Structure 1
């Protein structure tokens, strides 16, 4: 388990993250989402031990990560900006990495991944496209068989077949050896399909951290109409925790954070003529929870 408690980090007196609390279960695929500049990359760099926090605790199974070789040795971090190994071929990079992580390196995994991604092991990283560099980084990371995999926008720009292959490798590693993955991405539709936990960050603070299935069961889009009757007042709607609402004719659309039992109680008390629950995507939940451009988004959906 990875635990972050009261994590704060500033750069030149500007807060990057503030009082962050996160709990990442062992073997989970944990999605980290947020607007640009929200602090995701800073968090991942602290999780990897590249940066140290100004305040708070980051612990892997109770052990700190910063300047802790035993913990760092179990972590593979793939950043968005891949500038390492530029003069080496993929084969040479593998030899170098295997020497550093001899106890966990699996040459068969590396060979299989290189073939799966159709990479030339004799090609220098400096001659590879950004997408090929990412695939090469994944080959090196998976062959290390890390206990923890940290990914900062790792799949952006890759074609759908390669993305699917990478996700399958992540899911298999989670199932086979309980590898824990923390992945930052703007592709919420992909995260929705593979992550079991999600954390949303806004302006350096956690605004949401939840199991995805629980999240889906707690946030709903309601279509409600009372026909020619009187719509409940704000006081009458009070039991609903409304994140956003808009109207089209006599029909109200409400985005609410309530349990199914609370919604049933609301219907039994107010007796709407029309009451439907519409499934929300993770992308929609993200927009409503973080309050970014929700009016423009919902006007199109």
Structure 2
């Protein structure tokens, strides 16, 4: 389990993380989403023990990871730009990892090299961006960590490799109780993978929720009216997004599906229906509430 307690990290006068509090349970897949510069990468680096907090704590199984070899041996972090030893091959990196991670699995390494089309004897610096990520993934899974942290891991992977990665993550979580944290802007990839999601913005966390509960708390509906009622007629519904096209109204509303439809039907629409809501639509709606939307950016 990872406990984040009043976590603060500053770079000069800027707080990349500002008094953040939440918990990540063991054996789960946690998605970190948020605006650019929200603090997602800073959080991962602090959690991995690369950064020392300026305030508060991040505890991995009750212990701080910074300068703690015991805790770090449980954590594998793949940054946005994976690091490899200069001129190293994948075989060289396997030797390096085997000296750091006590649960290094040589047989697993060989199996993963067969799954991913990456040459073990070639210099990794000659690899494409996507192949370098595959090399990092091979080392990470073979290290058998208890916590796997990944920053924009889907970037550069082709669709087949993305599906393979998701399959491996699900297997490791199910069979070895691995805890995975993924920071990504690719919300569609996270949608069918994560158990929980945390929304970061301006160094804080707006919410941390079970992904199914998140969808239950926000409803997307479409209705047709003739004539169109005034917006005030929809009170006291908390409307996150309002769009009209002639007689057609599209709403994203905070609340349950049944109660929202009941309110809409009381206004005598021609028809009203609930529509599936994607994680990306939830993200956009919540960020608009926080003042981060296209209209504010353009103005």
Q: Which residue of 2 aligns with 1:192?
A: 191
Q: SS in structure 2 opposite 1:64? A: coil
1:110 Cα deviation after fit:
0.4
Q: Size of the alignment, in residue pairs?
A: 293
| Map of 1:251 onto structure 2 | 248
Taking the TM superposition and a 5 Å limit, the aligned residue runs for 1:138-149 are 138-149=137-148
Q: Return the alpha-carbon distance in structure 2 between the equivalents of residues 72 and 187 of structure 1.
A: 27
Q: Which moved more, 1:43-52 or 1:31-40?
A: 31-40
Deviation at 1:11, TM superposition (A): 0.7
Post-superposition shift, 1:248? 1.3
Distance apart, 1:185 and its partner CA:
1.0
Residue 269 of structure 1: CA displacement? 4.4
1: distance between equivalents of 2:267 and 2:273? 14
SS of equivalent residue, structure 2 residue 99: helix
* Distance in 2 (alpha carbons) for counterparts of 1:154 and 1:93: 19
The 2-side partners of 1:70 and 1:262 are apart by: 51
Output the aligned Cα RMSD. Answer: 1.9
What is the TM-score normalised by the length of structure 1?
0.91
Query: Which residue number corresponds to residue 215 of structure 1?
Result: 214
Provide the C-alpha distance between the structure 2 equivalents of 1:214 and 1:145, rounded to a whole number of angstroms: 31
Residue 271 of structure 1 deviates from its aligned partner by 4.0
Whole-Å Cα distance in 1 between the matches of residues 200 and 100 of structure 2?
34
* Structure 1 residue 152, shift from structure 2 partner: 0.6
1:97 aligned residue: 97
Aligned to 2:166: 167
Per-residue CA deviation, residues 54-86 of structure 1 (Å, 9 max, x unaligned), is 111211222222222221110000001223213
Aligned runs of 1:124-163 on 2, under 5 Å?
A: 124-163=123-162
Q: Which residue of 2 aligns with 1:13?
A: 13
Note if 1:242 corresponds to 2:239.
yes
Contact 2:104 2:142 in 1 (8 A): yes
Q: Aligned partners of 2:215, 2:231: CA distance in 1, in Å?
A: 27
State the TM-score, normalizing by the size of structure 2. 0.92
What corresponds to 2:105 in structure 1?
Answer: 106
User: Which stretch of the first structure deviates more once superposed, 90-99 or 287-296?
Assistant: 287-296
Matched, 1:54 2:54: yes
